[in-house]
Amino acid sequence: MHNLEEIPEIRGLDSRSGLIRIPHEMDVPITPRVRQLIDTAEFHRLTRVSQLGLVSLVYPAAHHTRFEHSLGVYRNALLYLRQLSADERFRAAIKTEDGELLIVAALLHDLGHWPFCHPIEDMKLPSVPSHEMFANSFLLEGEVADCLRDDWGIQPRDVTTILSEKPRDTRQRILKSLMSGPIDIDKMDYLPRDSLHAGVPYGRNFDAQRLIGSLCLNQAGDGLALTDKGRTAAEMMVFARYVMFSEVYWHHTVRSATAMLQRGFYLLHGELDLDALFRMAEPAFIQHVLTASERHPAADLFGGLFGPTRRLYKRIAEFSFFQKRPYYEQFARRPYTWLAVCSDHLAEILSQQIARRVAPHEILFDAPPVKREVEFNVEIHFAKENTYRTLGEVSPVVKTLAQSQFDDYVKRVRIFVHPRLQEDLRQQDSLDTALDETLRRMA
Amino acid sequence: MHNLEEIPEIRGLDSRSGLIRIPHEMDVPITPRVRQLIDTAEFHRLTRVSQLGLVSLVYPAAHHTRFEHSLGVYRNALLYLRQLSADERFRAAIKTEDGELLIVAALLHDLGHWPFCHPIEDMKLPSVPSHEMFANSFLLEGEVADCLRDDWGIQPRDVTTILSEKPRDTRQRILKSLMSGPIDIDKMDYLPRDSLHAGVPYGRNFDAQRLIGSLCLNQAGDGLALTDKGRTAAEMMVFARYVMFSEVYWHHTVRSATAMLQRGFYLLHGELDLDALFRMAEPAFIQHVLTASERHPAADLFGGLFGPTRRLYKRIAEFSFFQKRPYYEQFARRPYTWLAVCSDHLAEILSQQIARRVAPHEILFDAPPVKREVEFNVEIHFAKENTYRTLGEVSPVVKTLAQSQFDDYVKRVRIFVHPRLQEDLRQQDSLDTALDETLRRMA
Amino acid sequence: MHNLEEIPEIRGLDSRSGLIRIPHEMDVPITPRVRQLIDTAEFHRLTRVSQLGLVSLVYPAAHHTRFEHSLGVYRNALLYLRQLSADERFRAAIKTEDGELLIVAALLHDLGHWPFCHPIEDMKLPSVPSHEMFANSFLLEGEVADCLRDDWGIQPRDVTTILSEKPRDTRQRILKSLMSGPIDIDKMDYLPRDSLHAGVPYGRNFDAQRLIGSLCLNQAGDGLALTDKGRTAAEMMVFARYVMFSEVYWHHTVRSATAMLQRGFYLLHGELDLDALFRMAEPAFIQHVLTASERHPAADLFGGLFGPTRRLYKRIAEFSFFQKRPYYEQFARRPYTWLAVCSDHLAEILSQQIARRVAPHEILFDAPPVKREVEFNVEIHFAKENTYRTLGEVSPVVKTLAQSQFDDYVKRVRIFVHPRLQEDLRQQDSLDTALDETLRRMA
Amino acid sequence: MHNLEEIPEIRGLDSRSGLIRIPHEMDVPITPRVRQLIDTAEFHRLTRVSQLGLVSLVYPAAHHTRFEHSLGVYRNALLYLRQLSADERFRAAIKTEDGELLIVAALLHDLGHWPFCHPIEDMKLPSVPSHEMFANSFLLEGEVADCLRDDWGIQPRDVTTILSEKPRDTRQRILKSLMSGPIDIDKMDYLPRDSLHAGVPYGRNFDAQRLIGSLCLNQAGDGLALTDKGRTAAEMMVFARYVMFSEVYWHHTVRSATAMLQRGFYLLHGELDLDALFRMAEPAFIQHVLTASERHPAADLFGGLFGPTRRLYKRIAEFSFFQKRPYYEQFARRPYTWLAVCSDHLAEILSQQIARRVAPHEILFDAPPVKREVEFNVEIHFAKENTYRTLGEVSPVVKTLAQSQFDDYVKRVRIFVHPRLQEDLRQQDSLDTALDETLRRMA
């Protein structure tokens, strides 16, 4: 095998047999060695882990799985490699074995994902591993590791390096930039896929064809870039991501459910065997936390999410750059534990105000996390002048999206309360008073 | 409220608030009284019952739920009613309260669906109720019944009448024909929806807009019909249904999984509390049969479907009208128990042939069921001549689909075996000998 | 260059530069030697010849051109060749130079199309050449011929052989079967393209991806066939074609316009320089016939089609297999001149009936042409059994479409009259009398 | 008729008969009085005026007409009115007769469009009327005026007021804001329509359904606004418009063709009967300028655009905010005549530099016009707080698009030259020298 295009999976893009079909009318080539990987128990588990978790409480069709998504990302790896194999510098840096490494990394990139992984990670609790680290336990030993060694001639450690370590050389930096960055193979799959299954048009319109067709290397030769033919397509993808955040991922009801899950997990996590829990598929995970939280305040939260009927907390306040900005600035980008203490104080203050007991877990603060969304820095190669400029430099709109729209406008501070309290807490003035008092106590 | 168009849900089609969005970019109007119904535990259960069951083992994205589908059928009811409200004879026969009855019947039509309902019903086991009958227990008492009476002013018994009884008068015949027939509101939803989530183009192309736009009543005034403007759209819908059967519902691997489930259930059902089982959501159902089948032959079958890895039976023979037709005619349209006895005999005969033990449950016969798919008889109204003709009369292609393509060409006889036997049973000649012997014993 | 995949245009499918974009979001690779061909005056003329001619009088968006369609067919040639290059027998029969011959034949297949070509050809007038023959004058000399010889190393005569002569050997038979047959590269483009521009869903739903992916050679090794994986896709394409005929190509108003054009041309053609006319682009063609028909009965017909306002003839009768079948059988499949004489007689008879002058050209008969649509015979290869069966054999629905639906149900006999006569001729009974008399005179 | 929903055309949205179908699968209701209007010669002319003019030289499928677009805008008027009829303040301000006025204004808004209207208007030549003014001659007398008065009971003068005059009262301001503004019925049609026919995905993704569903009135009650549910949809529409400008309307090759047309018209316009010319359909217009320019420098320009072969000028330089910004600032936003004089000077200077005659019309400057694209100011109503904020205030990305992206980044300064000069003028350094000298002379 002398070049990237000869990799069996890449050839499979045209071969039309041994295919799995996923939306939207996408054929994924399945070679025998890919079949081996996806038929392991570890990978098969992903058929029972949903991609969007709590989003289906708002968009009831969004039940697609990490399995489906992983196939999509794997296919994108093939498309990116085929395209980049036409780039001389890429061919010089990335050999066939590197291409195959990328392919398995793409396929396996979510292997460590446990149910509701992102909101749990966002809380930064010390006892919770990162899902990348957690994945190592699936990758370094067992059936997947055997398959990598025997069928692919790949050392499992090389896969975990690409997936979870800082790149140390040009080759690793290139591979990493395909896996993770503003135009990576992951976003290229999940934006349109989440959009399709949710039933919304928001994440689909970015001309993937044009974008892939303009892939090249950056000036330094160590990362993904685009020719200027792909500039608009890249802007479209950044914009599509913004809209998906605004309308789906950070939809206020989704955030209510997320805040409930986070608080429930926060309250209960000391009593859970996290290692066992994180190896479960979603139905077992849900059953487990429901059982574990019996006779525990968390029961109220998990029951509302996963019980026989849906009972979500209600929004009583919302703050952003243009809505009561001073409050927004007080609560945004605070550690989860700080917000949890705020809840305690506010519950106590409100108990007095409305003269009935408000339990701490009946008040939830949801706020933009400490870490801002990454910048959208990808280089654009202007072929005629042979110069490279960053996308932000040639696109004010991308610069704006990166610098303010996402974190300051989409992600808002919200206060959610148990539905039985909603009526009592309607009055905005007294809420402000209570918030002021809460902040005084936190000072 | 004087006419159908004033029904709040129908008005909601244009109102743009209180909407749930489902694919493909479809807004479903949710009035308070609809919200009451879908928030009951009985209805909420449908968020955890998949629409296509075992199909996701072949089309891994097909995880959509009966909840989503029910919303789609409900929305179709609104569209059909709005369209038909322009038809004088329809307006004379169907009053506002009948329209509302249809609306709740549409929303609740799958309330009695238990997981993997269709393949289990197809076996015609005496201890298994029909899902329509089973639904009555959800409809006639409990939260749904209360809501129907209190919020809708509808007697629960009237809903079960429409859903599961033979119509007795014109009014009932009309409502029934909207719920069930060649162009009913159910197929109008599931064909495109299954297609979309499976990732295939087959069930989507039938110009629903044109079809709905040409709805009218038949000559007798007691059933749904179409004006001649909708003739081609109706042909397209019948054809789309054929293709979905061919490529999805009766895909040979789907049939393998179905045959496994049926045999597992057949073996185990005497030991199950069916009433309790059929009230469970899908994850609990699966967990239950896995647990119940421990140390039982059915464990092999359920484990292959629902265990940590997928292990499906392999096809070793296939018979149809054009492939070894005599075998096809021997096995098609036989009762399930008859086929099960065939398995026993064949297992015994093959055990001798290959000189190793073949367990009865390792051999599965799958064959077209006794009941043929319904005929596609819907009347077409030729306005210029003011005559009614059946669709089959003016469309040879529909007549052909109805009379032979579905049941004789798509639905085939197949023999599936445990994968460990596949190699041993490759030889076609000796299989024919064994089949001949099997048939001799059955004679 | 050793194999088909190395042909620059086929490589261009992945290259993403030098592309022309056409709907639906399709990138067509344009190599320098393709650019040379499409920039000739002969080919550029196709930018001003519409694909569907008079259809835009009914579907006002259907203004797409033969230029766009030719690019689509050319691209299909690349896709078919790339797919078939994986087939051993194909590779043995079709060398690189044959592949290139197919590519230019695909690109140039409509070069001889003059405006409104099909309805004019359908009349079988002795002075009208076939458009394939007419194309030879563009292909065998001039700029296109030079370009073929110089840039492609192809003899123009070889192109005309593929396009307009009976194939004489295996190689030619294979190439011809790609250009013309039930699943050829031409229909594969025009069905979805016409559908898209007309704004209808009918011609788009046939899973082109699956169809192309299952291309192979027939049993004799001298023509296109499909593996059984493509069987349903082929049925879908045949069905899509039927629906397009029913709803677009043979729409009754399109047929009215077509009948007007045919009669106008029939009346005027003796006075036209057809060789010059057929070399014109559509606007010049239209201008020319408008000018030539001044003070001529044809003016009424051309004016209604191309004048400042649209004025189409009205349908006063329609006959088919299920509508007054005896009339249908009398008029279907008759030569154009025979039908024209019918008009003369009928005009005379009606003049007496309604006691006012009816001019012969005010009555138009439109009927299914003498030649039936070709049968849909393509072989399907059943790989497991290694047998070949015709599509009709394994698909009753295709057999039905081929044998009756198209020619006997879609194509009807219609009588159109000048709008000023419509009121007078409303009475059906007297029309029957007049028709009977007309047929007596024709006997 | 007591309310807006009873207007026959609005009722026709649901009625399904008397429809014209246009892409994308859109049914346009045609009542008898609409049929009267579109069958006039003035309106029928729009079937032969293309929507995008020269764009089809780059996107060869973009041949759609002003006729199709006008039907789409008319349909949008119906959708907007139906939606807004649910708004109390709208109902109070806009009576049935105002709704009907809007409907005809929407249908007729492009009646005065002559072929290639926009680039010709952009030059601001004193002898060229605005197309709105020109439309008055079609609207105030003749068949259209008769039809308005007789069939609609509308004074033609009221239509021209809405279309071309400054609104003078609340009622007029509201109607005007539906016709022209950031989310008007015109853009709502042409963005997706141009996108579809061009074959690109750029202008289609803005959730029209959601946008229409959130229409309301602004705080002052005299213009279109959106509820906050439509905020993201509005951002998407503004963004889609940006991408269409970037990739289609201001595509560099489209600009080359536009610059050629403008110069040709500039050179020839003194010799043309503009009033007659602007009443022609596109084919006649083209024929006319080709004939008129014989033996005139303009022949070279028109011949390259409309002659038997395509021969477009080539870009030799491009300046923008990030490419040689000082040049950009010198040439942007200058009057057309100023740029024409630049060409003259530059031609003379280059003639000396390359020592061969460069004709003035062989050098074309293309630059952003004097007038900037309008701001995207539309109010958003935040229902919970009952406050109105401008879209720019709550969306940094829209503010950025409005203030810089469009005019400073998309619209660039370009220099195009006759293809025979391209080789000679490749050298960038000497071009800079020549430009500097040109600017010195212009100072």
What's the confidence (pLDDT) of residue C408? 81
Give the pLDDT of residue C1.
44
Q: Is the peptide bond before D24 cis (omega within 30 degrees of 0)?
A: yes
Contacting D residues, span 294-333, partner chain C, CB-CB under 8 Å: 308-310
Which residue is closest to C87 within chain A, CA to CA? A15
Interchain CB distance below 8 Å, C15 and A214: no
Residue D199 near chain C (CB below 8 Å): yes
> Are D229 and B15 within 8 A, CB to CB?
no
Comparing alpha-carbon positions, the chain D residue that sits nearest to B5 is D14
The residue with tokens 């026919």 is: D197
Distance of residue A195 Cα from the nearest chain D Cα, in angstroms:
12
One-letter amino acid of C443? A
pLDDT for residue A149: 97
- Contact flag B214-D16 (C-beta cutoff 8 Å): yes
**Overall residue count recorded for chain C in this entry:** 443
Instruction: Determine the Cα–Cα distance for residues D381 and D391; give it in Å rounded to an integer.
Output: 10
Distance CA(B103)–CA(B33), nearest Å, equals: 11
> What pLDDT is attached to residue D2?
57
pTM across the whole model: 0.95
pLDDT band for position B1 (cuts 50, 70, 90): very low
**Interface residue C82 vs chain A (CB under 8 A):** yes
Q: Is A205 on the interface with D (CB under 8 A)?
A: yes
For chain B, give every residue range classified as CATH 1.10.3210.10: 4-250
CA dist D78 → D55, D194, D215 (Å): 29, 21, 13
Q: Which residue of C has its CA nearest to B316?
A: C384
Kindly provide the ipTM of the predicted complex, given to two decimals: 0.94
D-chain residues near A384 (CB < 8 A): 318
The per-residue pLDDT for D1 is 44
Question: Helix (H, G, I), strand (E, B), or coil: what is residue C17?
Answer: coil
CATH class held by domain B270-368+411-442? mainly alpha
Residue D416's nearest CA partner among D253, D300, D302 is D253
Element (H, E) at D341: helix D336-354
Question: Do β-strands C26-29 and C224-227 pair in parallel, antiparallel, or remain unpaired?
Answer: unpaired
Predicted local confidence at residue D12, as pLDDT: 92
Q: What pLDDT digit, counting tens, does each position of C321-378 carry?
A: 889 999 999 999 999 999 999 999 999 999 999 989 999 999 999 999 887 766 678 9
User: What average pLDDT score do residues B194-218 get?
Assistant: 92
B419 touches chain A (CB under 8 A): no
Question: Residues D3, D96: contact at Cβ < 8 Å?
Answer: yes
State mean pLDDT over C223-235.
94
**Rounded mean pLDDT, B39-65:** 97
**Closest-approach residue (CA) in chain C for D197:** C23
Structure tokens at A249: 């991922």
Helices (H), B316-427: 325-331, 336-354, 391-394, 396-400, 419-422
Within an 8 Å CB–CB cutoff, is residue A419 touching chain B?
no
CB D281 within 8 A of CB D396: no
Contact D54, D65 (CB under 8 A): no
- Give the pLDDT confidence score for residue C374 in this predicted structure: 63
- pLDDT higher for C437 or B406? C437
Confidence check: pLDDT of B132 > 90? no
Give chain C positions within 8 Å (CB) of D22: 59-61, 199
B199: phi > 0 → left, psi -120 to 50 → alpha, else beta; which?
Answer: left
Residue type, A24: H
Q: What is the pLDDT of residue A375?
A: 64
pLDDT of C395 higher than 70 = yes
Residue spans of chain D under pLDDT 50: 1
Chain C closest-CA separation from residue B162 CA (Å) = 34
Tens place of pLDDT per residue across chain A (443 aa): 458 989 999 999 887 678 999 999 999 999 999 999 999 999 999 999 999 999 999 999 999 999 999 999 999 999 999 999 989 999 999 999 999 999 999 999 999 999 999 999 999 999 998 888 888 989 999 999 999 999 999 999 999 999 999 999 999 999 999 999 889 999 999 999 999 999 999 998 888 888 999 999 999 999 999 999 999 999 999 999 999 999 999 999 999 999 999 999 999 999 999 999 999 999 999 999 999 999 999 999 999 999 999 999 999 999 998 999 999 999 999 999 999 999 999 999 999 999 899 999 999 999 998 877 666 789 999 988 899 999 999 999 998 888 877 778 888 999 999 999 988 887 777 899 999 999 999 98
* Predicted confidence (pLDDT) per residue in C162-193, tens digit: 999 999 999 999 999 999 988 999 999 999 99
CA distance A106 to chain B (A): 18
Tell me, rounded to whole angstroms, the distance of Cα B36 from its chain centroid. Answer: 26
From the list B21, B61, B287, the residue facing A200 with the nearest CB is B21
CATH number of A4-250: 1.10.3210.10
User: Do the chains contact at C213 and A83, CB–CB below 8 Å?
Assistant: no
CB contact under 8 A, D16 and B82: no
**In chain B, which residues have their Cβ closer than 8 Å to the Cβ of C389?**
322
DSSP string for B247-260? IIIT-HHHHHHHHH
Q: Which residues of D touch B82 (CB under 8 A)?
A: 14
Q: Look at the block and give the residue holding tokens 């297949």.
A: C109
Restricting to A residues 25-64, those with a Cβ less than 8 Å away from any Cβ of C are 25, 27
User: CB–CB of D217/D167 below 8 Å?
Assistant: no
Report the residue from A16, A17, A213 with minimal CB separation from C16: A213
Cβ atoms of residues C218 and C379 within 8 Å: yes
- Please list the residue range(s) of chain C that carry CATH number 1.20.1250: 270-368+411-442
Confidence band, pLDDT 50/70/90 cuts, at residue B182? confident
Of the candidates A197, A103, A203, A218, the residue with the CA atom closest to the CA atom of residue A159: A103
What would the pLDDT profile of C403-428 be if each residue is shown by its tens digit?
A: 877 778 888 999 999 999 988 887 77
The torsion angles phi and psi of A209, rounded to 5 degrees, stand at -55, -50
Looking at CA atoms only, how far is residue C41 from chain A in angstroms? 30
Closest CA in chain D for residue A400: D397
Contact indicator for D229, D392 with CB cutoff of 8 Å: no
pLDDT tens, A381-429?
A: 998 889 999 999 999 999 888 887 777 888 899 999 999 998 888 777 7
DSSP state, residue B152: I
Q: Decide: D22 and D71 in contact? Cβ < 8 Å.
A: yes
> Within 10 Å of residue B180's Cβ, how many Cβ atoms?
16
Q: Cα dist. C255→B89, C58, C416, D278, D348 in Å?
A: 34, 10, 9, 33, 60
Q: Which stretches of A214-271 are DSSP H helices?
A: 231-244, 252-268
Rounded to an integer, the average pLDDT of B176-196 is 95
For the beta carbon of residue A284, count every other beta carbon within 10 angstroms.
Answer: 17
DSSP H helices, B96-207, are: 96-108, 117-122, 131-139, 143-147, 156-164, 170-179, 187-198
Report whether D74 contacts D27 (CB < 8 A).
no
Instruction: Please indicate if any CB of chain D lies within 8 Å of the CB of A204.
Output: yes
CB atoms C236 and B243 under 8 Å: yes
Backbone φ and ψ for B116, nearest 5 degrees, come out as 55, 35
Check B16 against D82: CB less than 8 A apart: no
Lookup: tokens for A434: 């209570």
∠ CA(C342), CA(C345), CA(C346), 5° rounding?
80
Q: Please say whether the beta carbons of C359 and C297 come within 8 A.
A: yes
Residue of A nearest to D407 (CA): A396
Contact C36, C151 (CB under 8 A): yes
- Model pLDDT, residue B374: 63
CA distance A278 to chain C (A): 39
Reply yes or no on whether the pLDDT at C14 is more than 50: yes
Residues C381 and C389: beta-carbon distance below 8 Å: no
Which of C19, C20, C22 to mutate: most D Cβ within 10 Å? C22
- How many CB atoms sit inside 10 A of residue A248's CB? 21
Q: pLDDT > 90: what percent of chain C?
A: 83
Of residues B48, B73, B39, B38, the one with CA closest to residue B279: B48
Q: Give the whole-number percent of chain B exceeding pLDDT 70.
A: 98
